[in-house]
Amino acid sequence: MSLRQIYETYHKDIQFLSIYIREAHPVDGWWLGKGAFSVVIKLSGSKATLDLHDPTTMEERRSVAGQCEEALKYGIRTFVDEMDDGVNEIYAAWPTRLYLVGIDGKVAYAGGLGPFEFKPSEFKKAIENYLVEIDVSA
């Protein structure tokens, strides 16, 4: 199940927040757009070969975040981390990560480190289990 599908299924019970953080593979960083392996990455549909520089101002960061929001079409409003990467660092979110925060303000699910431990199916299961749990205790 994709994140979009998870959102469409649970958005009435769960508040979804998309948080844009520092770029994973900008041209001026760990770029995967060169070499033979880049062809494989491009064919996989990954955006890691995009010709995109890491934003250096909030204006640039918001602009790229807006492009990302538009391209992914999750239907989830995107919020942008400040240039000090404060939220990114506190949640060890880079390059991508999932969390579920319960109604009590406590972490109900903390996804593994991305990209390989970024698991929407596991996230969906955590959401389902949490909703059952709070329904039972209500």
Partner 1 sequence: MPKTIQNKREAQAWQKHHDATAPKVGDAAPDFELSDVHGEHTVRLFDFRGKKPVALIFGSYT
User: By CB under 8 A, what part of segment 29-88 binds partner 1?
Assistant: 29-30, 47-48, 50, 52, 54, 56, 58, 62-69, 71, 74, 76-88
Minimum CB separation of residue 132 from partner 1 in Å reads 12
| Distance of alpha carbon 79 from alpha carbon 111, whole angstroms | 19
- Cis peptide upstream of residue 115 (ω within 30 degrees of 0): yes
Q: In the complex, what is the shortest distance from the CB of residue 36 to partner 1, in angstroms, rounded to a whole number?
A: 17
Give the residue with the Cβ less far from partner 1, 36 or 96. 96
- By C-beta, is 36 or 57 nearer to partner 1? 57
Contact (Cβ atoms closer than 8 angstroms) between residue 15 and residue 39: no
Contacts of 102 (CB under 8 A, 6+ apart): 108, 130, 134
DSSP state of 61: H
The least CB distance from residue 3 to partner 1, in Å, is: 6
